[in-house]
Structure 1
Amino acid sequence: MTPGNNGASTPEDDDPFGYLYADGQANGAQPPSGGYGYPNSVSRVRTVGERQYGQQPPQQTAQYGQPTVPQQGAYGQPNAHYAAPETFPGGGAPTGNRQQAPGGGRGRGPNTKGLLIGAVAVVAAVVIGIAVAMSQGDSDDGNQGGGQASTAPTASASASPSESSSGDASNEKELPTVDAKALRLGGTAALASDVQGAEADGGIYVGNLNQVGNSVTWSVNGIPEDGTYTLFAHYSTAGEDQSMTLTINGKKFGSPLSMKNYAKAADGDFAKGWTTTFAWPSLTKGTNTVTLSCENGDKCNVLLDQLWLKAGQVKK
């Protein structure tokens, strides 16, 4: 070789990109065949299914001036230069069995079966609790109904005609009623009928009771059993409220029988003063004696026409 000539092979010939430089082009450098840039790198097209896994590709023989393409490693072994797309996460079809979630071929979501069983158990517990509460409530109601009412009478009781009954009419027993003319009179008490409004037979009533010692007595027969009863009195008063002493079987009742002016009748207007009062005495089975008398401290300016009884403590 002579100076300036290093032989047939020049750096332009060795450099696959020599054709890009001016001096390389002047020396006749040509682009490499087989594709742009590195030969056989991009233009290698494979038919689908042609690739055979597990086989070594044929060894390419490097040509002068072209870089050698590294061989692909055996299938299943890492290769720094090339790897099949399916070996990357998310690429290609799987080449082996995927790890499955326990209990089935696909992953399980929330344990809906367990949640359903739990919900059914809660509903069942609520239903059972309601049933128990209702049964206990029925038992309590039954116990409340088993008690007996007290038979102790009140000291005195009275009501205006507008007050309703506190008892059950269906349980009331038919008991005696007495008109004025059947009462036994005491003192100067006398029968009369000149004031209108009396409900006794013939409009007869007892008057002249407004003196100490005057009285009416009723012998009651046919009391069915011992117990508390309601004694009603139909009377008339006008102006001031009145009261008389009540005696049951010879024993004075707790307080005088209230005989108020519930009708609000003006003083002296007895025809408009008719009304009703009551008391709750205790009577014995058989015959009992009921007396209304004018005693010291009483106000007895009343007209009395009827007395009657009802079982229990009622107001009408």
Structure 2
Amino acid sequence: MTPGDNGASTPEEDDPFGYLYADGQARGAQPPSGGYGYPNSVSRVRTVGERQYGQQQPPYVPPQGAYGQPNAHYQAPETLPGATPPGSRPPAPRSGPGRRGPNTKGLLIGAIAVVAAVVVGISIAMFNGNSDDKNSDDQAGATPAQSQNADPTPTSSSSSDGTLPKADAADSSVQLAGGAAVSSDVKGAKGAGGRYVAGLNQVGASVTWTVGGIREAGSYRLYVRYSIPGEDANATLTVNGKPNQQPLGMKNFIHSPKGDFEKGWQTTWAPVTLNQGANTLSIACGQGNQCNALIDQFYISK
């Protein structure tokens, strides 16, 4: 094939971009005025099979209904069956018999149960605390406790059945010395026949009680029932031959009138440490003691 003009060619053989070159322009090539994929072409979407090549296409007609006007095919949601008309509110949910409301009764029962549990816990804690206080108070300390007006009375005078011993100061088993003697002139004594021990108000006078039947060694309390003429008294207490840490205090706890033995009966106690078996307890008027007192009864308490 030689270079040169081979004559006019068929349209499908023409160079679509020949208008861009000098030889193409010499042959009269013109830029295309339309068509898919060429410059200055306008692509319009058409239904498949609608375009007819070689025919003039009708102008584009927009769908019915101009901008801002309702379309004939448009239907508002409120016009559909069952829809709520415009301007109206949806109905409020029912709270009557057909629908259950909040379970306020259940919440109230739960709150009451929690409060009850707290009250029970506090009561148990207080009860345990009181029990501990009571137990600690029952243990004998180094300092004698103050006597109350009411006289605590043991259940038995014998220790053979497991109870702690008790004795009248005027009993024949109690040894008296130094001028102490049995008397019954003052009323109010609980000893047998209303008898008691007097004459303890002089140095050297003593009342000695031999206690038997202590099953277990340990700390105990010695209770003494006495009478004073409205003035405090005290005496030396000896346990198994050894002076006790504290003297036996016989104070006027009930504030009885001065000079009246008959209205001065009351009870005191002192802590003692006893051995298993027999023990000797002695109340004596020593130097420096104020011993103007009548002795009625003794007994031991754990």
Q: TM-score range by the shorter chain?
A: 0.5 to 0.7
- The one-letter code matched in structure 2 to 1:192 is S
Give the length in aligned residue pairs.
195
Per the alignment, residue 294 of structure 2 pairs with 303
From 205, 213, 220, the equivalent of 1:222 is 213
Per the alignment, residue 166 of structure 2 pairs with 177
d(CA) in 1 for partners of 2:180 and 2:205?
6
Preserved contact between residue 227 and residue 265 of structure 2 (Cα < 8 Å) = yes
Q: Deviations over 1:177-228 (max 9, x none)?
A: 1112231112111111111111100111111111111110100000121122
d(CA) in 1 for partners of 2:253 and 2:148?
6
Q: Kindly tell me: are residues 163 and 273 of structure 1, through their superposed partners in 2, closer, same or farther at Cα, counting changes over 3 Å?
A: closer
- The one-letter code matched in structure 2 to 1:80 is A
**Alignment RMSD:** 4.0
Matches within 5 A, 1:3-82: 77=63, 79-80=65-66
Q: Does 1:87 align with 2:74?
A: yes
Per the alignment, residue 279 of structure 2 pairs with 288
From 242, 265, 270, the equivalent of 1:274 is 265
Q: Quote the sequence identity (%).
A: 39
d(CA) in 2 for partners of 1:216 and 1:231?
14
d(CA) in 2 for partners of 1:176 and 1:91?
104
Q: Does 1:160 align with 2:148?
A: yes
Look up the SS of the partner of 1:280 in the other structure.
strand
Q: Structure 2: 5+ residue runs without aligned partners?
A: 1-60, 82-106, 154-161
Q: Does 1:203 align with 2:194?
A: yes
d(CA) in 2 for partners of 1:274 and 1:85?
120
From 242, 258, 276, the equivalent of 1:251 is 242
Per the alignment, residue 242 of structure 1 pairs with 233
Preserved contact between residue 180 and residue 205 of structure 1 (Cα < 8 Å) = yes
Q: Following TM superposition, where does structure 1 have runs of at least 4 consecutive aligned residues deviating by more than 6 angstroms?
A: none
Q: Deviations over 1:70-125 (max 9, x none)?
A: xxx78xx464276445626546449xxxxxxxxxxxxxxxxxxxxxxxxx9xx9xx
Name the TM-score, length of structure 2 as normaliser. Answer: 0.54
Q: Structure 1: 5+ residue runs without aligned partners?
A: 1-72, 95-119, 166-172, 312-316
Look up the SS of the partner of 1:281 in the other structure.
strand
d(CA) in 2 for partners of 1:164 and 1:217?
21
Q: Kindly tell me: are residues 222 and 214 of structure 1, through their superposed partners in 2, closer, same or farther at Cα, counting changes over 3 Å?
A: same
- The one-letter code matched in structure 1 to 2:145 is A
d(CA) in 1 for partners of 2:244 and 2:276?
18
Preserved contact between residue 263 and residue 272 of structure 1 (Cα < 8 Å) = no
Which deviates further from its counterpart, 156-165 or 197-206?
156-165
Preserved contact between residue 142 and residue 246 of structure 2 (Cα < 8 Å) = no
